[in-house]
Amino acid sequence: MNRVALDARLLLPALAAGFIQVMGSFGAAGRQPDARPLDALAVVLLLLGPAALPARRRYPVGTLVATVAVLLGYLALGYPYGPVVLSVVVALVNAVVHRRRRAAWLVTVPTYLAMVVLFWLREGRLEPLAVSGLAAWLLVLLTLGELLRGRRERLARERLARAEEARARATEERLRIARDLHDVLAHHVSLINVQAGTALHLLDEQPGLAREALTAIKASSKEVLVELRGMLGVLRRVDEELPLAPTAGLAGLDALAQRMRGTGLPVTVRTEGAARPLPTALDTAAFRIAQEALTNVHRHAGADSASVLLDYSGPDLVLQVDDDGRGARGEPPAGNGIPGMRERAAAFGGRLDAGPRPGGGFRVRARLPIPGEGESS
């Protein structure tokens, strides 16, 4: 909190208490002709209690003791009863709120007894109603302090829970971006590597084809730089005022297939059912699964062709990538391709199966529930 705002929150109640105690006591004095008339000393005592209140956050017990001492001194000198108790009320509730309950009780009990004794000395008698009423008011103040303390602790727990939830969401978002970053780098660097090898092989014999390969390298490198800039900008929370590239989604599937064809791997894309709008996160996840699956085909399968199927005909989006390569294949022990795709599918309540397909080759099949479209079968 701003220091000025904090000082204001501490000073304003003290100023208000001082004003009420002085003005209210002069008003009360007119109805108590037997009390000692208010003089300069009385005004000083009426202001001393509120003057201690700005220290109540830092020294809750010390502030309570100081206001009680001023109150007892004021009453012992015979000045009229009135709002002089206000500063004690504030200090007592404040002490309980700031977890000084034991000290508050230890101060309250002797204060109550001292006020009863002073009343007896001043009036020459004890009125049971006044004595019990004073005890009841002190108990009400202590209870109020307990209620405020409980509310304050509950709000603190809620703030902590919200902060932890925000940190968890930020961590989850960074993990998602890290997976996207892995997919982007794996895909584009793999394409660049193949095209670079092709260009070197054809440079002398077929310069025209080598030029096409170099052009594909330029396009892939430009695209990966654009995506990296967007992802790193999110991670670093910079360049927020600059428009970033649109989030990758299934709309980019044809462009992805075209890039794969440029590496010598024919890829066909087929859609069944009427395409439906998808939430952005689900759209991105589906595209990344297709991208990772095709990258794996390119890197590990030795396939002559691959196909991508998008099936919207059921309640779920079914994404299937087939190839005619070596069939059963594994990734390096530290590989993140298939586990990463399974993670993406599971994050949306779906599942992903990967393995050899009937008739040879390899199949990756993801079933992703579309929100609002019913449960998957």
Given this model, what pLDDT does residue 181 score? 67
What CATH number was assigned to the domain covering residues 249-377? Answer: 3.30.565.10
What local confidence, expressed as pLDDT, does residue 168 receive?
76
Residue-wise DSSP of 139-199: HHHHHHHHHHHHHHHHHHHHHHHHHHHHHHHHHHHHHHHHHHHHHHHHHHHHHHHHHHHHH
pLDDT of residue 299: 78
CA 168 – CA 184 distance, rounded (Å): 24
Residue extents of the structural domains in the chain: 3-126, 249-377
pLDDT value at position 191?
67
**Predicted local distance difference test score (pLDDT) of residue 194:** 65
Q: What is the pLDDT along the chain (377 residues), one digit of tens a residue?
A: 455 555 677 788 888 888 998 998 888 888 888 888 889 998 999 999 889 889 888 888 899 999 999 989 988 898 888 888 888 888 888 888 888 878 888 888 888 888 888 888 887 777 778 778 778 888 888 888 888 888 888 888 888 888 788 777 767 766 766 666 666 666 666 667 666 666 666 666 777 666 676 777 667 666 666 666 655 655 554 334 434 445 678 888 998 888 888 777 889 999 998 888 888 878 888 998 998 888 888 777 778 889 999 999 988 999 999 998 876 554 444 445 788 888 888 888 899 999 998 888 899 999 999 886 544 33
Q: What is the DSSP string of 188-219?
A: HHHHHHHHHHHHHHHTTT-HHHHHHHHHHHHH
pLDDT at 231: 59
* DSSP secondary structure of 69-116: HHHHHHHHTTPPPSGGGHHHHHHHHHHHHTT-HHHHHHHHHHHHHHHH
pLDDT at 69: 92
The CA distance from 314 to 276, in Å, is: 11
